[in-house]
DNA sequence: GCAGTGGCTTACCGATTGGTAGGGAGTTTG
DNA sequence: CAAACTCCCTACCAATCGGTAAGCCACTGC
């Protein structure tokens, strides 16, 4: 069974929204790439906002899958967090798209979420906080402290993931390739260092 | 001498572009906030893209100032980097705006920079790489390694800076206030840990 | 054979987009 | 006093936006 038109439109929407954002892409742009009219797209999705919501739901599902996969590979929470964060470093194009959409959601979701009533990142962030608190030495950390360190590490991973095209523009292809090679080892070192920090109220 | 109309328009553009992005704001939106027509705005700025470019130039100037200020407060490069990164954690609203614009530039600048031929972050990033290489133990790090760690730390700082409204939506005001209080100490610990990593080819 | 149904089309809508043309009021300058 | 300049206006433009209405065509189930 081949991919349905709906699936193809969804994939294109995902890519274009990641590149240019919600306002930067028209439904006609998306339909055009498949030789269709925007009315064809509106046959599959009730309106533009719902289409965007569908894309976000996919992203949120992706993150949940990464989280579950990380929890299976290792028993200790520190290893789980490391696996998860390393997995979030984009290597193939589709992962870059996911990272960019995630970042855009952080920037733009306030008006969207208020009308839609959905915070796609909520459970993901809560789960991460739980994992941090399970790390030895972090049991007595406050929720705010756990969230702070999670955010710093997510930032370390995702900021880089978003900047590929920019970095290439500034530094050129060769340096970016070297950067991509150097990044994971550097990240490992940072993760180790971050969780080595002891948290006890003593 | 009061602020000129041009300056006021520029400040409003800065705020609105930070909130909703380039495509999410019309020049009429900006002019409206001052009771002017968009043609009045077009009298001060040749077109929308040039206006946006002006906003970006301001941001880039801001970053340079922060960098110079950080270089004055301390003699050792590690302290300078710490001061700079801590200064980039947004505390007042205008700093949040700057952080959000910076993030948007990372996401959107590819099509813009290609036509404009300007990479606003280039000198800033290059300077930071220089500072990292001056840190004891990092002299022999490759440029890629230095860039990797810089990017991770910038990410740790800026990802958080961008997410304020989102976090408030998810966790509520009280928790976000606690998070804001916990963040700097956590960041200090991360910075210490990151630069404690020794880099020698031995 | 015929009523759905899914997938798409053309035709159209009002609203908004970035931008141009030209003019008018007030101030500055020669 | 007149020319020039600054600042902002109304009027207008073609293009595009998201979305509705209605119909066409191929296929399916009864």
DSSP-based three-state secondary structure for A88: coil
CB A78 within 8 A of CB A135: yes
Q: Is residue A188 over pLDDT 70?
A: yes
C-beta separation of B153 from B85 below 8 A: yes
Q: Is the pLDDT of residue A201 over 50?
A: no
The DSSP call for residue A23 is: T
pLDDT at A107 over 90: no
**Quick check: A10 pLDDT over 80?**
yes
Over residues B75-89, mean pLDDT: 89
Nearest Cα neighbor of B45 from B58, B34, B35, B55 is B55
In this structure, of A23-37, A147-161, B183-197, the range with the lowest mean pLDDT score is B183-197
Q: What are phi and psi of B123, to 5 degrees?
A: -65, -40
Give contacts of A110 with chain B, Cβ < 8 Å: 165-166, 169
The total number of residues written for chain B in this structure: 202
Q: Which pLDDT value is given to residue B2?
A: 58
Q: Supply the mean pLDDT for chain A.
A: 87
What crossing angle do the helices spanning A122-133 and A143-162 adopt, rounded to 10°? 120
**More confident: A14 or B191:** A14
pTM, rounded to two decimals: 0.88
What pLDDT shows up at residue B202?
40
pLDDT digits (tens, 9 = 90+) for A80-94: 999 999 999 988 888
Identify how many contiguous H helices and E strands chain B contains and give both numbers: 10, 0
Q: Determine phi and psi for B109, rounding to 5 degrees.
A: -75, -15
Out of B5-19, B72-86, B89-103, B119-133, the most confident range is B5-19
Select the more confidently predicted residue: B38 or B74: B38
**Over 60: is that where the pLDDT of A175 sits?**
yes
What confidence score (pLDDT) does residue A202 get?
41
**Are the CB atoms for A105 and A121 separated by under 8 Å?**
yes
For chain A, how many residues are written? Answer: 202
- Proximity of residue A177 CB to strand C below 7 A: no
Residue B101 with chain A: CB contacts under 8 Å = none
Residue scoring higher pLDDT (B3 or A53)? A53
Give the per-residue pLDDT at A168: 85
Residue with token string 């002299």: B139
Those residues whose C-beta lies under 8 Å from the C-beta of residue B198, and which sit 6 or more positions away, are B137
* Nearby residues of A70 by Cβ (< 8 Å), 6 or more positions away: A80, A81, A83, A84, A87
Quickly state the pLDDT bin for B111 (edges 50, 70, 90). low
Between CA A14 and CA A160, with CA A182 as vertex, the angle to 5 degrees is 35
Distance D9 C1' – B40 CA (angstroms): 8
Q: What pLDDT score was predicted for residue B116? A: 63
Q: Average pLDDT for residues B69-94, to the nearest whole number?
A: 88
For residue A1, the model assigns a pLDDT of 44
Whether B151 and A145 lie within 8 Å, measured CB to CB:
no
Nearest chain B residue (CA) to A117: B169
Average pLDDT over residues A57-82: 90
Q: Residues of A with CB below 8 A from B157's CB?
A: 152, 155
Comparing CA positions, the residue from B25, B34, B24, B42 lying closest to residue B4 is B34
What separation, in Å, do the N-terminal and C-terminal C-alpha atoms of chain A show?
61
Cβ of B183 and A148 within 8 Å?
A: yes
Residues within 8 A of A (CB atoms), B 127-186 only:
142-145, 147-149, 151-160, 162-163, 165-166, 169-171, 175, 178-179, 181-183, 186
Report whether pLDDT(B201) > 60. Answer: no
Least confident of A1-5, B63-67, B76-80, B156-160: A1-5
Among A152-161, A189-198, B142-151, B160-169, the minimum mean pLDDT is found in A189-198
The DSSP element (H or E) to which B169 belongs, if any, is: helix B164-171
Q: State yes or no: pLDDT of B8 exceeds 90.
A: yes
- B22-36, B114-128, B168-182: range with lowest mean pLDDT: B114-128
Whether residue A140 contacts residue B196, with contact meaning beta carbons closer than 8 Å, is answered with: no
| pLDDT (average), residues A15-42 | 94
Q: Return the pLDDT at A199.
A: 61
Q: How many CB atoms lie within 10 A of CB A73?
A: 12
Confidence of residue B110 (pLDDT cuts 50, 70, 90): low
């Amino acid at each position: 069974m081949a991919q349905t038109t709906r699936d193809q439109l969804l994939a294109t929407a995902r890519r274009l929204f990641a590149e240019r954002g919600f306002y930067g892409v028209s439904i006609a742009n998306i339909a055009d790439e498949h030789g269709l009219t925007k009315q064809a797209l509106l046959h599959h999705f009730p309106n533009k906002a719902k289409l965007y919501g569908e894309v976000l739901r996919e992203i949120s599902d992706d993150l949940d899958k990464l989280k579950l996969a990380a929890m299976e590979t290792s028993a200790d929470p520190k290893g789980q967090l490391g696996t998860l964060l390393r997995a979030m470093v984009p290597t193939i194009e589709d992962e870059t798209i996911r990272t960019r959409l995630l970042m855009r959601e952080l920037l733009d979701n306030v008006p969207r979420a208020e009308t839609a009533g959905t915070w796609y990142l909520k459970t993901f962030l809560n789960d991460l906080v739980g994992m941090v608190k399970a790390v030895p030495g972090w049991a007595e950390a406050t929720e705010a402290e756990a969230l702070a360190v999670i955010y710093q590490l997510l930032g370390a991973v995702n900021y880089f993931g978003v900047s590929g095209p920019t970095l290439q523009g500034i530094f050129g292809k060769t340096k970016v390739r070297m950067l991509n090679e150097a990044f994971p080892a550097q990240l490992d070192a940072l993760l180790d260092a971050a969780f080595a920090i002891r948290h006890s109220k003593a």
